[in-house]
Amino acid sequence: MTSVNGTGGPTTPAEIEADVIRQREELADTVAALHTKLDVKTQARNKAAALKDRATTDSGKPRPSYAAGAAAALAAVVGLVAWRRRR
């Protein structure tokens, strides 16, 4: 593909049309990627689903290690509140 003006771009109407179609597809892909990246609501849902999958077993029950950690954190908070009330 050599052009008349020396830029190396498409020269025939068919080449120009094919180039325009390719550029439109690239632009559509870019816009879709930006939309996905900037869609905070969907990102939050995906992150919540990933965390839920990590914290539960295949049957949907909490993983014992996470349950123990949550219980320890709750006990620490209750202990801290009780300690602060006594002071």
Residue 1 CA from chain centroid, whole number:
40
Structure tokens, 53: 């999958």
* Total H helices, total E strands in the chain: 3, 0
Residue range 27-36: mean pLDDT, rounded: 95
Amino acid identity at 75? A
Q: Give the chain's length.
A: 87
Look at residues 24, 23, 1 and name the one whose alpha carbon lies nearest to residue 12. 1
Structure tokens, 31: 């816009």
| Vertex 67 angle, CA 64 and 69, to 5° | 110
Each residue's pLDDT tens digit, 37-61? 999 999 999 999 998 888 888 888 8
**Which of the four pLDDT bands, split at 50, 70 and 90, describes residue 68?**
confident
